[in-house]
Amino acid sequence: MRKIYTLVFFLFLFEFSSLSQVELVPLSNPVYDYLDRMTVNKIITGYSASMGPVSRREIASHLMEIQSRRNKLTVTDKKLLDDYLTEFSYDLTGALNKSSLFFSKKGLSELFSDRKQKYLWATADSNVSFFWDGLGEIRYMGLDGDSAGKPHVLLGQLGTRIRGTLFGSVGYYLKLTNGVRLGGTTYDASKTAFLDPVLASTRKFISEGGRTFDSYEGHLRYSPKGEWLGLTFGKEALRYGTGYIDKLILSNQNSAPFDFIKLDLQYKKIKYSFSHSSIVGNDSAGVQLQSKYLVFHRLELGPFFNNVFKLGFSEMVIYSNVPVNFAFLNPISFLTSADLNTELPGKNSNNTLLGIDMEFYPVKSLSLQGSLLIDDLNFETLGSDSTKGNDNKFGFQGGLNWQNAFMLPNLRFIYEYTRLDPFVYSHREINNSYSHWNLPIGHSLNPNSDEHAFRLAYNFGSRLSLSLTYKLQRTGLNYLDSLGNPVNVGSDILNGRGDFLIRNKFLNGVRLNRNILSAEITWQPIRQYFITLRYQMRNFDFIKDNRKLSDNIFWGSFRIDY
C-alpha cells in the first residue's frame, strides 16, 4: 500500500507541476514557519528557510510531500496541513472546487465559510489564472512608559490584492493598501511608528503628519517548469541567512520592502541568487540621497551528508549618489573585486560585506545554525592591538531550534546569541550604511552590542498560537567626554565616522543593558479572519548613571484577508 500511495503521490506531483502558480508567497504567510518545522522534524528535505520568498508552486510541492507522510504528524500539524491544503488547493489540483467567490450566487452565504478559501473573485483556465482578494484591518498601537510617554494611535486600512500565473511560467502579484489614522495625534503617530517598519518608512505617516497613508507590494516573475530559473522584478520583503529569531545577513523584519531585480538559479542541491535593489537613505545633513543601492549575491549548497548539513555564502555592497553601476549588474562576479576596480582611487566610499552561514540537522526535531558577517577584513592588521586593528569588524550568530521541546508535541524552543563588533553595518559615509529608511537591513541589534534571545512558541490546535520571547541585550553607547565632545565607540548604524580615532573595544562606552519580554497571541476563529494581540515590556538600565527606564507596548489588530 505504501508503494501504491507513493506512486499516486508522484502522479499528482507531475500533474500539478504544470498547473500551479509561480508568483511568490509573501514572507508574512505563516506557511513558512510550518515548512521550517517540517524540515527540522525531517518530514521534508528540500525546503530552505534561509532564502525567501518562494513560489506557490514550490510551497505546493512541499505540502504534497508532507501529505505523503501524514501519519508522522501530530494531531495539530495534521489540522494545520489541512488548512494549507485548502489555501493552496488550486496550486495542488488546478481546480477551484475548494474556493468561495464573494461575487457569486453563494458568495454571501459563504461569507463565514470555514471549509473553503474565500476570494472576491477568481477564474482560471489552462493558460491563465486570476485571483482577486479584499483586505481590511483595524489596528491599535500604544505605549506607556518612561522613554516615550503615552502615545497611542488607532489605524484603519483597506486594500486589495490581485495575483495569478500566465501560461504556466509568468507570475504576477500586486497588493495595494490605503489607511487612515482614526485616533491619536501626529505626535502619537511619530512615536509609535517604530512598531511597524512599513509605517516608519511611509513619509506621509511620519514627516508629513497626514492622517492617511498607503503602501504597495508587487512583482512580475518568470520561471519555467522545474523552477531551475527565476527572474523577478518587484517590490517585496526578502530574507537571506540562517537566523531563527532574527537574521544577521538580510532580515525581512526590521525594514520595509524595497524595489529589486532578482535572478535565482537552482540545480539539485545548489541554489544561487542575485539581486540589485533600490533602497532609501539620508546624508549626514539628513537630506535624502538621490540614489542608494544594495547588491546581493548568495550561493547555498546542500543539505549534504544525508540531509544534515547546509552551507551558504553571501556578499553584499551598498553604493549611493551615482548612476547604476553595470559592474554590479553582473550576476557572476565577486562584488569586493568589482568594487575595488570601479571606485575612484582612494575614495573607498562603498560599503562591502561578506557572510558565511551553516546549518546542521543532527537528529530529528533539532537544528543548529552559525553565521559570520565580515564587515571589514584586513589580514595584515588582524589581531593588532593598535587602531590599525579597527580595520576588522565582524558579526557572529549561533542558534538552536528545538521542535517538540521538552517532550511536548508542538512546543518550539529557540535560543540565539548574536554579537556585533563596533561599527558593524555602519560606514564612514552615512550614505552607505547597511540601512533602508534609516532602519537596519540586517539584525535589529545596535553595533557594539550582543544579545541572548530565547523563544517559546506553541500551537493550541491549528487556529490559535502563542509565542513568548525574552531578549537580554548589552550595548556600549556613544557618549560626550568631559569637554562635551562626542566620542564614537561604534554603537550607531548611522554614524561610522571616526572609526580609527581610538582602539575599538567591544562594549566600550556608556553601558546600556536591556531586558525585553514579548508575548503574542494569534487567533483565527474563522478561516481568513485574524485577531492578533501583542504585549512587550522593555527595561533600560544605564549602568553608569544608575538610571532605569521602563516601557510597556500594546498592539492589537483585527484583520480580514478575503
**Residue-wise pLDDT tens digits, 479-520:** 998 898 999 999 999 999 988 889 999 999 999 999 999 999
CB 317 within 8 A of CB 350: yes
Q: Is the pLDDT of residue 179 over 90?
A: yes
Q: Is the pLDDT of residue 242 over 60?
A: yes
Residue 277 within a domain: no
- pLDDT tens-digit map of 275-313: 999 999 998 888 999 999 999 999 999 999 999 999 999
Pairing of strands 121-124, 117-119: unpaired
Q: What is the dihedral of CA 17, 18, 21, 22, to 10 degrees?
A: 80
- Beta strand extents in 146-211 (DSSP E only): 152-166, 170-183
Would you say the C-alpha torsion 498, 502, 503, 508 has a positive or negative sign?
negative
Residue 12 within a domain: yes
- What's the whole-number mean pLDDT along residues 455-469? 96
- The amino acid at residue 185 is T
- CA end-to-end span of the chain: 39
Q: Is the pLDDT of residue 413 over 70?
A: yes
- What's the whole-number mean pLDDT along residues 212-225? 94
pLDDT band at 544 (very low <50, low <70, confident <90, very high): confident
pLDDT of 386: 87
- The amino acid at residue 376 is D
How far is Cα 278 from Cα 286, in angstroms, rounded to an integer? 18
pLDDT of 349: 81
Report CA-CA distances (Å) from 449 to 15, 167, 243, 421: 51, 50, 17, 7
Report the number of distinct structural domains present in the chain: 1
Mean of the per-residue pLDDT values of the chain: 92
CB 58 within 8 A of CB 227: yes
pLDDT of 219: 98
> 479 in helix, strand or coil?
strand
Residue 266 within a domain: no
* Residue 305 burial by Cβ neighbours in a 10 Å radius (0-12, 13-18, 19+): exposed
Higher pLDDT, 463 or 381: 463
How far is Cα 553 from Cα 143, in angstroms, rounded to an integer? 5
Q: Is the pLDDT of residue 15 over 80?
A: no
Task: Kindly give, in sequence order, each residue whose CB lies less than 8 Å from that of residue 505, ignoring residues fewer than 6 positions away.
Answer: 422, 489
- The amino acid at residue 544 is K
For residue 24, the enclosing domain spans 1-95
C-alpha radius of gyration, the chain, whole number: 24
- What's the whole-number mean pLDDT along residues 402-426? 97
How far is Cα 276 from Cα 494, in angstroms, rounded to an integer? 22
Instruction: Work out the number of other CB atoms within 10 angstroms of the CB of residue 536.
Output: 17
Residue 108 within a domain: no
Higher pLDDT, 340 or 66: 66
Q: Is the pLDDT of residue 385 over 90?
A: no
Share of residues in the chain with pLDDT > 70 (%): 95
- pLDDT tens-digit map of 126-155: 899 999 999 999 999 999 988 778 999 999
C-alpha angle 409-413-418 in degrees, rounded to nearest 5: 160
Residue 506 within a domain: no
CB 259 within 8 A of CB 244: no
How far is Cα 404 from Cα 365, in angstroms, rounded to an integer? 7
Helix crossing, 75-87 with 56-68: angle to 10°? 140
Residue 205 within a domain: no
Higher pLDDT, 103 or 17: 103
pLDDT of 522: 98
CB 26 within 8 A of CB 52: no
pLDDT of 120: 97
pLDDT of 340: 78
Q: Is the pLDDT of residue 361 over 60?
A: yes
How far is Cα 202 from Cα 348, in angstroms, rounded to an integer? 31
Q: Is the pLDDT of residue 346 over 80?
A: no
CB 296 within 8 A of CB 309: no
* Residue 544 burial by Cβ neighbours in a 10 Å radius (0-12, 13-18, 19+): exposed
CB 279 within 8 A of CB 293: yes
Among 8-12, 201-205, 245-249, 320-324, name the one with the lowest average pLDDT: 8-12
pLDDT of 74: 95
pLDDT of 12: 44
Q: What does residue 388 show for φ and ψ, rounded to 5 degrees?
A: -60, -30
3-state secondary structure 178-211: EEEEEECCHHHHHHHHHHCHHHHCCCCCCCCCCC
CB 447 within 8 A of CB 493: yes
Element (DSSP H or E) covering residue 451: strand 449-459
Nearest Cα neighbor of 555 from 287, 35, 192 is 192
How far is Cα 25 from Cα 111, in angstroms, rounded to an integer? 24
How far is Cα 562 from Cα 553, in angstroms, rounded to an integer? 29
Residue 164 within a domain: no
pLDDT band at 19 (very low <50, low <70, confident <90, very high): low
Q: Is the pLDDT of residue 5 over 70?
A: no
Helix crossing, 31-40 with 75-87: angle to 10°? 130
Q: What does residue 537 show for φ and ψ, rounded to 5 degrees?
A: -115, 125
Q: Is the pLDDT of residue 40 over 90?
A: yes
- The maximal CA–CA distance of the chain, rounded, in angstroms, is 82
Residue 54 within a domain: yes
pLDDT band at 92 (very low <50, low <70, confident <90, very high): very high
Q: What is the dihedral of CA 197, 203, 208, 209, to 10 degrees?
A: -20
Q: Is the pLDDT of residue 90 over 90?
A: yes
DSSP 182: E
pLDDT of 262: 98
Q: Is the pLDDT of residue 354 over 70?
A: yes
